[in-house]
Amino acid sequence: MKRNIGIMLALLCAASCYSMEEVYQPLLNNESPEQLRKLSKTWSSLLDNYEEIDEDLHMVYNPGCNVSFFGLEKKHPFDSTKYEKIYTFLKKNYPELKFHKPVRPVTNGALSTVHTADYIHSLCLSGFDKFRKAKIQRSRKLIIDISEMEDLGSMKTTIGLCLLYAKLLKPMKLAAQGTLDATILALKNGWSINLAGGFHHAKAEMGSGYCFYADVPIAIQLLHLINPEFKVLIVDLDVHHGDGNEAICGENDKVFILDMFNKNIFADNKPDDEKKVDYMAAIEPGILDAEWLSAQQGKKIDGIEDDEYLEKLEELYTQALDECKPDFIFYNAGTDVYQEDPLGRMNITKDGIKQRD
- The region of 119-127, 131-139, 317-325, 336-344 touching Zn ion under the rule CB under 5 A is 336-344
Query: CB 338 → Zn ion: shortest distance, Å?
Result: 11
Which residues have CB under 8 Å from 283's CB, separation 6+?
Answer: 260, 261, 262, 263, 304, 309, 312, 346
Query: CB 209 → Zn ion: shortest distance, Å?
Result: 8
Q: Does 246 bind Zn ion (CB under 5 A)?
A: no
Q: Does 334 bind Zn ion (CB under 5 A)?
A: yes
Give dist(CA 216, CA 200) in Å, integer.
8
Query: Which residue has its beta carbon closest to Zn ion?
Result: 240
Phi, psi of 282 (to 5 degrees): -90, 100
Give dist(CA 184, CA 198) in Å, integer.
16
Q: Does 240 bind Zn ion (CB under 5 A)?
A: yes
Query: CB 84 → Zn ion: shortest distance, Å?
Result: 19
Closer CB to Zn ion, 25 or 332, in the complex: 332
Give dist(CA 66, CA 82) in Å, integer.
7
Q: Does 140 bind Zn ion (CB under 5 A)?
A: no
Q: Does 336 bind Zn ion (CB under 5 A)?
A: yes
The answer to whether 279 and 323 have CB atoms below 8 angstroms apart is no
Binding mask 72-111 for Zn ion (x = CB under 5 A): ----------------------------------------
Closer CB to Zn ion, 100 or 240, in the complex: 240
Residues 209-238 binding Zn ion (CB under 5 A) are 238
Q: Which helix (H) or strand (E) covers residue 281, if one does?
A: strand 279-283
Query: CB 259 → Zn ion: shortest distance, Å?
Result: 11
Closer CB to Zn ion, 271 or 334, in the complex: 334
Q: Angle at Cα 306 formed by Cα 80 and Cα 209, nearest 5°?
A: 30
Query: CB 134 → Zn ion: shortest distance, Å?
Result: 33
Q: What is the DSSP letter of 258?
A: E
Closer CB to Zn ion, 222 or 267, in the complex: 267
Which residue from 221, 235, 252 is spatially nearest to 114, judged by alpha carbons? Answer: 221
**Residues in binding contact with Zn ion, number by CB under 5 A:** 4
The answer to whether 40 and 53 have CB atoms below 8 angstroms apart is no
- Give me the residues that bind Zn ion (CB under 5 A), please: 238, 240, 334, 336
